[in-house]
Homo-oligomer: A and B are copies of this chain.
Amino acid sequence: MRKFLEPRPQGTECAVCPIRQFALFKVVPPSYLKDAQSRRTDQYHLPARRHLYEEGDPAEMAFTLFDGWVMLYRSHSDGARQGLRVALPGDFLGYMPPGEGRIHHAAQAITNVVVCGFRQPDLHEMMEKHTELAAHITRIHARYMVSCQSHMLGLGRKSAEQRIAYLIAELYHRLINRRLLPADSPSMPFPLTQEMLGDMTGLTPVHTNRVMRKLRTDGVLATERQRLTILDHARLLEIGEFSATEAE
């Protein structure tokens, strides 16, 4: 285990998002769970802003995110970051198939984070023994791919306002679908800084701010510290062209 991953201290639960399901194992029969348990490392804690891994790191470990939010991104030569995905509790990060040496993106903790780590070779071995696991990882990847493609459509063809509205709507519905937020809650935890919002949407922090102001003055949403309230849900979906059926 990397040295910056330390056992989680008592009483430091992440307030943002407690997890209630663990994506990697929920479809695996209980008999395999023992195998899995014996191979996984303990839960580890990573403070906000630290990296779980960086671009070019050897692909040693994959992680299930138990608690907290993580941003996956790639860097441009001028230092700008392009966000690839906001990982929420239950997400599976950093997996690479056998033979791939290095990971091509970075993962940075947005909040304090709890992960469960697996060694990649152990995962590959388990996948060979348990086809359900292989099928499940394939399914997870296919879903990521679809959301990745929606994201590409946004980056290439949508306006700044549409991209931001889409991202907020997507996060909101993913939280609800995972039971990390009550289905009727108008407000949600929102630990992203405006700079990170810009990273995800391919915008500069300054322009992100302008768009957020517009969404606020238009009465679409309101922000408090680390929280976001959706005032006009229908309009948010309409602006972002997000349909509630497409969230994972």
Show the binding face of A for B, using Cβ within 8 Å.
74, 76-78, 80-84, 95-100, 104-105, 124, 127-128, 131, 134-135, 137-139, 141-142, 144-146, 148-153, 155-158, 201-202, 241, 246
Contacts and interface: CB of A to CB of B under 8 A. Distances in A.
A149 B148 contact: yes
B76 A157 contact: yes
Given A80-B157, A135-B98, A155-B202, A74 B141 contact: no
A34 to B, nearest CB: 20
B144 A134 contact: no
A139 B99 contact: yes
A232 to B, nearest CB: 19
Contacts of A99: 139
A82 B128 contact: no
Given A97-B135, A135-B127, A149-B84, A77 B142 contact: no
Nearest to A202: B156
Contacts of A98: 135, 139
Main secondary structure on chain A at its contact with chain B? helix
A93 to B, nearest CB: 12
A132 B190 CA distance: 41
A105 B142 CA distance: 13
Contacts of A151: 152
A141 B145 contact: yes
B142 A96 contact: yes
Contacts of A77: 241
A153 B74 contact: yes
A240 B78 CA distance: 13
Given A74-B152, A80-B157, A98-B139, 9 more contacts: A74-B153, A76-B157, A77-B241, A82-B153, A84-B152, A97-B139, A97-B142, A152-B155, A157-B202
A127 B131 contact: yes
Contacts of A155: 152, 155-156, 202
A104 B147 CA distance: 10
A141 B139 CA distance: 10
